Amino acid sequence: MNLLIAILSSSSLIAAVVSIVSLLLNRKWTKEDREADKQGEIVQEMGLLKANLQQHIASNAQENAKQARRRIIEFADECRRTMKHSEEHFENVLEDIDAYRRYCTNTPAFENSKAVASTKFILDCYDKAKRTNDFI
């Protein structure tokens, strides 16, 4: 009888140990699963942030190009009204022209024919002012 009690006790002990180990392993796997899910959510959120950032950068670049185009056209209008400008002002507008052309080259879908005449006129005025030193 003692042997039977010992066997039953040891099998109960083994069953209890197996149950505890099983429970601990299950908790660990569940924790790892939760961490993996969180990592997946973080990666997904980072992907969304990256897409939003790229969209914002593209929008900002387009707005900068439009502002450069406005400055180019306004400057050309001032030159057509025979307003004189400093060489530094010309150089700033020439930087706008370069930036605008670069954006138009890199973004074929952007309408880039709006400042062609103004750009040519400014470059001609700059060449003439440079030859005759006709800056203010």
Q: What are the boundaries of each domain within the chain?
A: 55-136
pLDDT of residue 22: 73
Does 108 have pLDDT greater than 70? Answer: yes
State the Cα–Cα distance between residues 53 and 62, nearest whole angstrom.
14
Cα 8 to the chain's mean position, in Å?
A: 68
| Total-model pTM | 0.66
pLDDT reported for residue 52? 84
CA 22 vs CA 17, 25, 30, 33, 44: distances in Å: 8, 5, 12, 16, 32
What whole-number distance in Å separates Cα of residue 97 and Cα of residue 71? 9
* Residues 65, 110 contacting (CB under 8 angstroms): yes
Residue with the bigger pLDDT between 123 and 113: it is 123
Handedness of CA 12, 14, 16, 19 (dihedral sign): negative
| pLDDT value of position 3 | 45
Q: In the prediction, which pLDDT does 7 show?
A: 47
Cα separations in angstroms, 92 against 112, 120, 123: 20, 16, 12
Instruction: Please write the tens of the pLDDT for every residue from 72-91.
Output: 999 999 999 999 999 999 99
